[in-house]
């Protein structure tokens, strides 16, 4: 597998599952992500604008390939309801050959029908 086709995971969070689904659906429909995993029921504790906050959030992992990282980050930021969304890129060393090939295929040009 070529380096640019290696899988990348992008971690982000949302206030609601509906927001996460909307962004995830747009990324998969646009072939920027092969898959997104949405994990509801997370509690986040953080400081924002000088105040300690605790919030229920939804975590999402976006599965894509390295060459699409910048495009995925730009689109996720554009669609994201947060002023400063968490968007963290987690590179991988690879994985199961078949699964890695599936990610590359799902994020490539759509095959003719």
Q: How many CB atoms lie within 10 A of CB 13?
A: 20
From 15, 24, 29, 34, select the one nearest 81 (Cα to Cα). Answer: 15
Dist. CA 61–CA 12, nearest whole Å = 7
CATH assignment of 3-106, given 3.30.70.120, 3.60.15.10, 3.30.230.10, 3.40.250.10? 3.30.70.120
Backbone angles phi, psi at 6, to 5 degrees: -60, 145
E runs forming strands in 15-50: 35-48
- pLDDT in the model for residue 111: 77
Position 82 pLDDT exceeds 80: yes
Among residues of the chain, what percentage have pLDDT more than 90?
Answer: 88
């Amino acid at each position: 597998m070529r380096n640019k086709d290696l899988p990348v995971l992008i971690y982000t969070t949302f206030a609601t599952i509906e927001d996460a689904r909307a962004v995830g659906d747009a990324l998969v429909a646009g072939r920027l992500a092969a898959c997104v995993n949405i994990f509801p029921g997370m509690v986040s504790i953080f400081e924002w604008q000088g105040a300690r906050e605790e919030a229920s959030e939804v975590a999402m992992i976006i599965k894509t390939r390295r060459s699409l990282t910048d495009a995925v980050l730009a689109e996720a930021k554009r669609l994201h309801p947060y002023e400063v969304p968490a968007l963290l890129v987690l590179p991988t060393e690879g994985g199961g050959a078949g699964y890695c090939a599936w990610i590359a295929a799902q994020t490539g040009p759509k095959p003719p029908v």
